[in-house]
Amino acid sequence: MDMPSPDAGILARKARILARLAEVLPADAVIGDEAETRAYECDALSAYRCLPLAVVLPRTTEEVSAALRVCHEEGVPVVPRGSGTSLAGGAMPTADSVILGVARMNRVLETDYDNRFVHVEAGRTNLSVTGAVEAEGFFYAPDPSSQLACAIAGNIAMNSGGAHCLKYGVTTNNLLGLRLVRMDGTIITLGGPWGEPAGLDLPGVVCGSEGQLGVVTEAWLRILPKPEGARPVLVGFDSNEVAGACVADIIRAGILPVAIEFMDRPCIRATEAFAKAGYPDCEALLIIEVEGSEAEIAEQLDRIRAIALTHDPVEFREAADEDQARRIWLGRKSAFGAMGQINDYMCLDGTIPVSSLPHVLRRIGEMSREFGLDVGNVFHAGDGNMHPLILYNANAPGDLERCEAFGAEILKLCVEVGGCLTGEHGVGIEKRDLMSVQFAPVDLEAQMRVKDVFDPQWLLNPAKVFPLAASAGRRARR
Amino acid sequence: MRPQSEAELAEMVAGASGPLVLRGGGTRAVGAVEGEVLETGGLSGVVLYEPAALTLVVRAGTPLAEVEAILAAERQRLGFEVPDMRAVLAREGVSTIGGVVAANASGPRRVQVGACRDALLGVRFVTGRGEVVKNGGRVMKNVTGYDLVKLMAGSHGVLGALSEVSLKVQALPEAEATLVIEGLDDAAGLAALRAALGSPFDVSGVARVAGRSLIRVEGMAGSVAYRKGRLRARVAGDVTVAEAGASAALWRAVRDLEALAGRAGDLWRLSVLPTAAAEVAATLGGTAVWDCGGGVIWLLLPAGQAAEVRAVVAGRGQAVLVRGEGASPFAPEAAEVAALSAGLKAAFDPRGILNRGMI
């Protein structure tokens, strides 16, 4: 993975930059020692690492502003960081950058059940947002798999989704307003708890901008009343095509489950060996979850069963109680861990139109043989967001490169059938150089012009999202 | 000017020598801008419709009615319930889907499924530079690059002329029912709406008009029956239930602001916190239609009260002058925010020719 060469001038000024940061921040908020900055050398895309120049861990929006002002004056790139769970390298540093971590900013500032919002600092973890409101019967809907650890700041940066977004949408659909600190230290409020911006939808463009437009320090989030209950069913099929057709029929019938998850045979076998969830040994498996009261759940499951049975499933398993429901989800939730037991893996995140599912799975199977690397597929079938997991051996020379080449081919296929490179993980460094597969130069130029407006000197997370060649001129401005 | 293709649209914008007024059907635009009219009605037709994927890709000038008919034939619809503003704005014309998107026009179901911007999956548009730009796509989950899709929704034509939009659609429900609550004052009637929104019963409409509070549920027949019963047990006042067509007629009236049509005065649309709704409307007076549990207030006021309206919502919401003269439709933004908006407009339309002065 190419990254720009670090700016020698900045590296030479490290002591001065640290001293200036120490002037405006509390002593424990500035880290320059290599032993301590090492914890920030990578995110969850751990194949790529680089020690940052320094790390700052402010506790308030004003401290964020002060730190950014110093970096702005010094011309130092800043990489914003939530919890560092990005799978795309969104929080990976460069040697000449300052990591600005918001993890210490994790307070709940206001809960308002009558108006159904919560106002939090952006370092708060996703799951603990729900934790703050669940006693009153509410929850925060977006639920990325990393929700125990990932921060709202990162969720907003990447516009994170999750398993239940078929019904509840992704981060942008649940974000009412935010506070943002621009690179020059200016603090601004965009939108608010009433949820509609007064002019252009600026919260809408900040969400998903991968930390390149500003540092989000606070957010107003929509909270929803928890449904009365939820229950999954497991349906096994002897072909991917038939499983795909079943998904299409369910959606076509007007049923909107909260989740439809899909696993293929390699993934089923791996998770079964690992988690022993008792899954059938079949070609494709769906986990479909519905919500509501007992009677509403039964009404939906009756329809789903009727549709599924027209496709001759090898198994249709309903959860009779909590324990059985947990076991149905157990394999799915262990899928990544199970694949990790077998070998190192790379997780992709392309989205395809659901109608292309059988074709794409067939092509991935063919490519798997061509590249000589195994791949398992687990994904959100209702919305076409795929997660192919390519297995490789990090210690075998050339394996990572082969894996990346295979991954790139899969993502190109996603674009070719009308989908996109990334559905919920973000571009980061991982898919940066594939952006020109999906976008024409003029499309990328339009996006980069947005960054020009928010961050004219291209100091915020500059070497991400856009192909390095496309952003080179702008990155040279500082 | 009336281009017949996206390429022609791009040529016309690039070659324009002065300000342009972008127009779909001219049925819902706010404010008044000057310049040569550029109509998008020639860019019409469905590009792709996959009912089983809940996605529709359509050219921006396609009439809304045509989109609705195509979806209805497959028992689907636009979930965000587009208002027909013609009666209340005293206009004629054929609403286009591009105009709907440019205005982020959304109705009562917004409380459940979000606004137009939440259903918008992708756009193609021509910038003020005359470039054809695409963003987003036609899949439900897409974080590839910046989200210009949200930026275009509700941008009222100041960033570009839409040529194509992709939308997420939804299935028609098999049943609907509405609780009609009478005998409550505005404060209590709005509190009933908030209680419904805070319940787990997945309401798809919560409005108050002409002294009646309305709470809608939609879905499978058994589920609708269950939820309407549970909600009924929770609310005070005199409750009757409207089913099916009668329920739909009630919500059409809310959506299209029938209670405010044909009446003189300025029409405002306020976004506030639901708990502030009763007090805000009482302070300003006039005739109110409350939607979204009070989060949206449509307010008919005597002309010339812009200063009062903006003072009342300052710091706790926002207000758009939808019909009326003597004030700009949008309030000035805080200086730091205005600088960003101005920067974006200059980036997409450096000559400032698209709907000049709108936002």
The string of pLDDT tens digits covering residues B196-238 is 999 999 999 999 999 999 999 999 999 999 999 999 999 888 9
Q: Which two tokens stand for residue A112?
A: 């308002």
- CATH ID of B175-255, from 3.40.50.720, 3.20.20.30, 3.40.30.10, 3.30.70.260: 3.30.70.260
Query: d(Cα A378, Cα A286) in Å, to the nearest integer?
Result: 10
- Six-digit token string for B19: 């300000």
Cα–Cα dist B56/A6, whole Å: 46
Q: Which CATH class is domain A343-438?
A: alpha beta
- Average pLDDT, integer, range B86-91: 96
**Do residue B151 and residue A453 have CB atoms under 8 angstroms apart?**
no
pLDDT for A370 equals: 97
User: Helix, strand, or coil here: B1?
Assistant: coil
Q: Is 3.30.70 the CATH classification of the domain at B262-323?
A: yes
φ, ψ for residue A120, nearest 5 deg: -125, 160
d(CA A165, CA A126): 14
The pLDDT of residue B325 is 86
Residues forming beta bridges with residue A351, ordered by sequence position: A385, A420
pLDDT band at A448 (very low <50, low <70, confident <90, very high): very high
Kindly state the helix (H) or strand (E) to which residue B12 belongs, with its residue range.
Answer: helix B6-15
Region(s) of chain B under CATH 3.30.70.260: 175-255
What residues in B contact A355, CB-CB < 8 Å?
Answer: 50, 52-53
Q: In this complex, do B53 and A422 lie within 8 Å of one another by their Cβ atoms?
A: no
pLDDT computed for residue A197 by the predictor: 86
Predicted pLDDT of residue A388: 94
The domain A228-334 having CATH identifier 3.40.50.150: the answer here is no
Is the Cβ–Cβ distance between B156 and B102 less than 8 Å?
yes
Q: Which residues of chain B from 274 to 333 reach within 8 Å of chain A, CB to CB?
A: 274-275, 295, 316-318, 330-331, 333
**Region(s) of chain B under CATH 3.30.465.10:** 6-171
Asked if residues B46 and B57 have their Cβ atoms less than 8 Å apart, the reply is: yes
Geometric angle at alpha carbon A82, from A81 and A86, rounded to 5°: 80
Fold topology of A8-102: 3.30.43
Residues of A in contact with B137 (CB under 8 A): 418-420
Q: Is the pLDDT of residue A164 over 90?
A: no
What φ, ψ does residue B241 adopt, rounded to 5°? -125, 130
DSSP string, A355-397: GGHHHHHHHHHHHHHHHT--EEEEEETTTTB--EEEEE-TTST
Per-residue pLDDT band at A7 (split at 50, 70, 90): very high
Average pLDDT over residues A227-247: 95
What span, in angstroms and rounded, lies between the C-alpha atoms of A335 and A391?
Answer: 13
- In chain A, CATH 3.30.70.3450 sits at 228-334
At A213, the pLDDT band (50, 70, 90 cuts) reads very high
Q: What is the pLDDT of residue A449?
A: 98
CATH number belonging to domain B6-171: 3.30.465.10
The predicted model gives A349-374 an average pLDDT of: 93
pLDDT of residue A349: 95
pLDDT digits (tens, 9 = 90+) for B104-132: 999 999 999 999 999 999 999 999 999 99
Percentages helix, strand, coil for chain A, rounded to the nearest 5? 40, 20, 40
Predicted confidence (pLDDT) per residue in B305-334, tens digit = 999 999 999 989 999 999 998 888 999 899
Write out the E strands in chain B: 20-23, 36-39, 46-50, 55-59, 76-77, 120-127, 132-136, 160-168, 170-171, 175-182, 205-209, 212-219, 238-243, 266-272, 287-291, 296-301, 317-323
Give the mean model confidence (pLDDT) for residues A381-399. 93
CB contact under 8 A, B274 and A114: yes
CA distance A15 to chain B (A): 33
Class of domain A108-225: alpha beta
Per-residue pLDDT at A355: 86
